[in-house]
Amino acid sequence: MARPGAACPPPARRVMVAARALLFWALVYSYCGVCACIAGLRLLWSIGRRPGETFRWVVRENPPACLNDPSLGTHCYVRIKDSGLRFHYVAAGERGKPLMLLLHGFPEFWYSWRHQLREFKSEYRVVALDLRGYGETDAPPHKENYKLDCLIADIKDILESLGYNKCVLIGHDWGGMIAWLVAICYPEMVTKLIVVNFPHPSVFTEYILRHPSQLIKSGYFFFFQMPWFPEFMFTLNDFKVLKSLFTSQATGIGRKGCRLTAEDIEAYLYVFSQPGALTGPINHYRTLFSCLPLQNHEIIMPTLLLWGERDAFMEVEMAEITRIYVKNHFRLTILSEASHWLQQDQPDIVNKLIWTFLKEETKRKRE
């Protein structure tokens, strides 16, 4: 039987590829325009209601005490030879123990893993990283410096700079996207993969094009394609959007979750209220569509996927579909009362599930 498309002459195939690319980018920029219009209307509404408050922006000069809590670990820095970038991380647990590397999402930073830093330091060298462009990690100025291949290489280089050749890799949200890709590109460096509230990248790219509901929930991916305007919208009303992401009824941690304290919120405001602090994180998204669609890739190491069912940004159906890409032991746990911010929302349950998975895998290896 002839391969599908084999009879199609090369010029025709090129036309088809160009047409699909044109449709893809038309979708991206059209939806980007829609999201920009909605944001503009919200801005006008805010100015009309509270003109004095709309443009208030307080830069926090001193970090809250929780960011220097010694029980969370030690603040460290490492400079990568190839890129020349300096990365900030917080490390807990003795050097020489197996490495557990934690990758945060957006808009977060190392502090989102505070519960895991305390929990796993008894048996692991736990490292919570500030990704490229976040917090105290260097932020290259050009969006091209945030392409996925750069972000993947960062994790490989950091692992080697820390003196390790493998780790337990855990990622949440955008950090989950990076964790999946590191596991695909450098499987020898990942002994066990744990992802929180982000599906396999191929599932995400296929699902979003077929389900308008997920396209709407992922509207910020498109809005972030615009220069400077997304950063500006975050600063309005002294970062009201940032605060509401974690606290509102629609997107925040639910009634049964472990709510962020006033000091926790202040920690986020301290980091992201610094001049220019939002550009690096948003640049992660500005290069995403140039890397799509991703090819289908298999995961060959034991994998745990944890999912908060009340996630306002990711539909839970993607979690189950992810199973087909994992060619090793795969465990999926969906927490019905949990939000997108799962490791902060339900830290005790999440930590218990991670421990069970890690010990289960150790026992399986021995047998």
The string over 264-288, giving b where at least 16 C-beta atoms fall within 10 Å of a residue's C-beta and e elsewhere, is: bbbbbbbbbbeeebbbbbbbbbbbb
Active-site residue identified among 200, 325, 340, 345:
340
Closest listed residue to residue 115, CA positions, set 355, 281, 311, 303: 355
Residue 215: strand, helix, or coil: helix
- Marked catalytic residue, from 124, 270, 285, 325: 285
- Residue 75 known to be catalytic: no
Q: How many CA atoms lie within 13 A of 143 on its CB side?
A: 16
Q: Which two tokens stand for residue 51?
A: 């003109």
- 297 given a catalytic annotation: no
Which amino acid is it at 141?
A: P
The SS3 of residue 302 is: coil
285 is catalytic: yes
Measured CA to CA, the distance from residue 147 to residue 285 in angstroms comes to 9
* Rounded Cα distance, 118 and 72, in Å: 6
Tokens of 258: 């472990």
Contacts of 309 (CB under 8 A, 6+ apart): 316, 334, 335, 336, 337, 338
Helix (H) or strand (E) holding 180: helix 174-185
Contact 285, 291 (CB under 8 A): no
- Say which residue the tokens 């392409």 belong to: 147
- Cis omega before residue 293 (within 30°)? yes
Strands 99-103 and 167-172: parallel
Residue 231: φ, ψ to 5°: -60, -45
CB 289 within 8 A of CB 295: no
Q: Which of 173, 264, 311, 345 is catalytic?
A: 173
Phi and psi angles of residue 226, each rounded to the nearest 5 degrees, phi first: -75, 145
Q: Cα dihedral sign for 171, 176, 182, 188? A: positive
Q: Which residues are catalytic?
A: 173, 285, 340
